[in-house]
Amino acid sequence: MAAAKNPLTLGAEKFHVSPFLRRPTGGAGIILGVLKDNLANVEDRIARACLRSGRRRGEITLIAVTKVFPAGVILEAHSLGMRDFGENYVQEFEGKHPAVKDLPGARFHLIGHLQSNKSRKAAELFHVIQTVDSAKLARRLNESANPLDVMIEVKLSEEESKAGASPDEVPDLVAAIRECANLRLLGLMTMPPWSDDPEPSRPYFRGLKELGDRVGVASLSMGMSHDFEVAIEEGATHIRVGTALFGKRKKPL
C-alpha cells in the first residue's frame, strides 16, 4: 500500500526550489530568518511606493503567492503575520488545505485560471476567486451556495496565453455577478505581459484603474514581485508576491 502523502510537503517532490526553502535537516519548511528578511524588504518596497504615490499602507493587501510550495511554507509565513495567500491550482491546494484551513485570519485566493468543472471544489476551498472571466463561471460559483468574494480577470494584452474577459465584456459581467446572491464583487484583476523592466506594465495597470472607475469597483489586483511598486503607484489594492518572498520556483530538468 502506498504511503499517504503529507500535506506539509505536498509539491516539494515535484519542484526544485530555492535553497532557503528547505531546512538544513532536510525538512520542507522555509528558514524563518530568511523569510523574515524577505518580508521586511517587500514591506520596505511597499512603503516607498506608497510614499511616492501619496497612499497609505493599509490600502494595500499583500498576497503571498505560495503555489508549488508545501503547506509548511504557508504555516511559517502565517507565523510572521501574513494572512492572505495566493494559489494557482485547485487540485494542488486541495492537498494543502487540511494543514492550513484552521489558521486564524487566513484568507486563500485563487489567482490561477479556473475551469467551470472545478468551480464547486474551488468554492469550498477558497475565500476569494480572482479569476472570474465569464457569466457562466460566476453562475457555477454562485450555485455552490458558499459566500465568496470574487474579482473579474481582465485581459488587457494581446498575448494568446493570457486569460480573462475583454474590457468590452466587463460591464455585462459586473451586472451578472451582482445578480448572484452568493458572490460579492470586489474588483478587477489583470496580468500584463512579462518584462524585466517594470515600466512597460504601467499602461496596463493604469488601464485597469480606468476600467474599474468606469464600472464602479474599487479593488484592483495587479502587480507581482518585479513590478508591484508601479502597480501601487497606479492604484493597486492587492499585489501578488511570490518570488520576492519565497524565491524562484524551478521545475526539474
CB–CB of 239/228 below 8 Å? Answer: yes
The residue ranges of every structural domain in the chain are 30-245
Show Cβ contacts of residue 53 under 8 Å, excluding neighbours closer than 6 positions: 232, 233
Put simply, whether the predicted model's pTM sits higher than 0.85 gets the answer yes
Contact 126, 108 (CB under 8 A): yes
Q: Does domain 30-245 have CATH number 3.20.20.10?
A: yes
pLDDT of residue 25: 40
For 245-248, the CB contacts below 8 A with 24+ separation are: 245/35, 245/38, 245/39, 245/42, 245/64, 245/65, 245/77, 246/17, 246/18, 246/21, 246/30, 246/35, 246/38, 246/64, 246/65, 246/66, 246/69, 246/73, 247/17, 247/18, 247/20, 247/21, 248/17, 248/18
Beta-carbon count within 10 A of 181 CB: 9
Query: Checking DSSP bridges between strand 183-189 and strand 128-132, what pairing results, if any?
Result: unpaired
Per-residue pLDDT of the chain (253 residues; tens, 9 = 90+): 444 444 343 333 333 345 444 544 434 344 788 999 999 999 999 999 999 999 999 999 999 999 999 999 999 999 999 999 999 999 999 999 999 999 999 999 999 999 999 999 999 999 999 999 999 999 999 999 889 999 999 999 887 778 899 999 999 999 999 999 999 999 999 999 999 999 999 999 999 999 999 999 999 999 999 999 999 999 999 999 999 999 987 653 3
Non-local (6+) Cβ contacts of 236 within 8 A are: 60, 205, 220, 221, 222, 223, 228
CA dihedral angle for residue 10, residue 246, residue 81, residue 9, rounded to 10 degrees: 10
pLDDT for res 11: 38
